[in-house]
Structure 1
Amino acid sequence: MQPKLAIVAGGGSLPIALAEACRKNERPYFLLGLEGFAEPGRLEGHPHRWGRIGAVGRVVETIREEAALEVVFAGHVRRPSLASLRPDLFTVRLLARAGARALGDDGLMRHIVRAFEAEGLRVVEVSSVLADALAPPGPLGALAPDESALEDIRRGLEVAKALGRADAGQAVVVQQGIVLAIEAAEGTDRMVARAACLRREGPGGVLVKVAKPQQDRRMDLPVVGPATVDAAAAAGLRGIAVEAGGVLVLARDAAIRPADEAGLFVTGAEPASGTPRRLS
């Protein structure tokens, strides 16, 4: 039998997708909802407890009380200000060890993983539970990008990777070679809505989303899903390109079907080559 899994849950549908995968595979699990981020209604119907993002020590204790040996982090978490964090002693010590690296999401996440591992817990990747969720290379639906869209994708990959190296966002919108918007603290869907206000005449832009080059794949792996497709269609984009093997595509059928209907391509791109693979 697989060890019990603690799903540390932020917002969005990813934590529930993990819970349902565990239930389907008869793996013991529980959701640890982060207060202010996980939506209570989503957690109903699943075994769950609650924790506070500033009380990492208590979160670790809860996982031990539940006899979970493995941990996966999933869902949106907007990091609070230090004033609102109200850290417990465990978290204070963690922040002190992180030092200046705590100012960036990636550096802080690495220290959180190390702290959990030092407590004897094994932190695993989302893809170890949702094996088929990582985007493959090439078109995921019926439509593929044309040559001008491929140029926008190449430009988007370049800019998004640079953004990731700065430990900032993970997504950009590019139209006709012009970067319309880059992701910051607002998240992808709001960034896409902002790009709609900057849309130029001609073929629509492309949303490009990648993993950070230095990213620990066990933490904050980027996600797209049906809501992303809805936002892209509403903004007048013509397609979505995600890093193959680096971005999770949730509810793939539910995302690709409306994309096809809206005339939107969704494709997996490989940064090394700068282009999606074409279907043979």
Structure 2
Amino acid sequence: MPGPATTHEAAPVTDKIGIVAGGGTVPGQLVATLRDRSHPYFIIGLEGQVQPETLDGTPHLVVRLGAVGTALDALRREGVRRLVFAGSVRRPSLAELRPDWTATRLIAKMGPKMFLAGDDALLSAVVKVLEGEGFTVERADRLLDGLLAGAGYLGRHRADAAAEADIARGVAILRALGPLDVGQGVVVQQGLCLGIEAIEGTDALLARVGPLRRDGGGGVLVKLRKPGQNERIDLPTIGVATVEAAAKAGLAGIAVDAGGAWIVDRAAVIETANRLGLFVKGISGDAV
């Protein structure tokens, strides 16, 4: 196996924030916030996943997921020690990853079983390894105001008694599955589980359950944290596309984990839910 590539001398450590940017709009919103605050940042854009517009006019480097050494060298040259993970990331197979020497070394630290584990076990291992490399991993919602869901309703629509019962059923299902590190979302209608979110993601789940919807009352999408979830990298997330997909599937509304889920572009989510007739509610997974 070849040795590591020669690294460049690291810059002095600064308060600059490194953004590891996946898909979706959260990375762009984070960039806009940091610009408004005149806070220095540097983006590591994940190849094939980050939106090109996120990188326009920004200091950045695009890397494939397996090019860990290249990414860490760039962050050190920029004097970055604070990292924020933002945006969706499609989990690759080991063959797709094509790990470089540094990635191979880190995979060895995590152990091969990490690739057979659920997303949260893998992400927790990633955080542990990065901390061992001298980086601090922070939550995106600590920097981006309004991202974290609160308790109660957004918008003007409300859940009826049937929807509340479906929310409680969804919470029970996710509580049971959570310890297995499987899924953050479930769709329930009339007490029946129409679908559980797995590796396909929320939008694909909603597309899948649309034809399964039964005659009668609407149904709900419930998204909750898993027990022990590493909240610095991955929290349940909804946005405008989620509301639109839920409406297309014929659902009555969406319930998300208050204090444990992200709402991307809150104002647009409220406007879309109002227009399409869906409720959006922040709930406590422990209180339902």
Within 1, Cα distance between the matches of 2:73 and 2:83? Answer: 13
Identity %: 49
Residue in 1 that maps onto 2:158 = 144
Determine which structure has more spread, i.e. the larger CA radius of gyration. 2
Q: CA deviation at 1:193?
A: 0.9
SS in 2 for 1:72: strand
1:120 corresponds to 2:134? yes
Residue in 1 that maps onto 2:257 = 243
Q: CA deviation at 1:42?
A: 3.1
Within 1, Cα distance between the matches of 2:53 and 2:287? Answer: 42
Residue in 2 that maps onto 1:102 = 115
Q: Which moved more, 1:101-110 or 1:149-158?
A: 101-110
Listed as ranges, the matches of 1:55-134 within 5 Å are 55-99=67-111, 100-103=113-116, 104-134=118-148
CA RMSD, Structure 1 to Structure 2 (Å): 1.4
Contact 2:110 2:129 survives alignment (8 Å):
no
Contact 1:9 1:73 survives alignment (8 Å):
yes
Structure 1 spans left out of the alignment, 5+ residues: 275-280
Within 1, Cα distance between the matches of 2:78 and 2:175? Answer: 39
1:136-155 CA-to-partner distances (Å, cap 9, x unmatched) read 11111111211111111111
What's the TM-score once normalised by structure 2's chain length?
0.91
Listed as ranges, the matches of 1:1-280 within 5 Å are 3-99=15-111, 100-103=113-116, 104-274=118-288
Aligned residue-pair number? 273
Residue in 1 that maps onto 2:3 = none
Within 2, Cα distance between the matches of 1:13 and 1:182? Answer: 24
Within 2, Cα distance between the matches of 1:47 and 1:149? Answer: 46
Residue in 1 that maps onto 2:9 = none
SS in 2 for 1:197: helix
Q: Which moved more, 1:125-134 or 1:193-202?
A: 125-134
What's the TM-score once normalised by structure 1's chain length?
0.93
Within 2, Cα distance between the matches of 1:38 and 1:264? Answer: 29
Contact 2:146 2:266 survives alignment (8 Å):
no
Q: CA deviation at 1:191?
A: 0.5
Contact 1:98 1:107 survives alignment (8 Å):
no
Structure 2 spans left out of the alignment, 5+ residues: 1-13
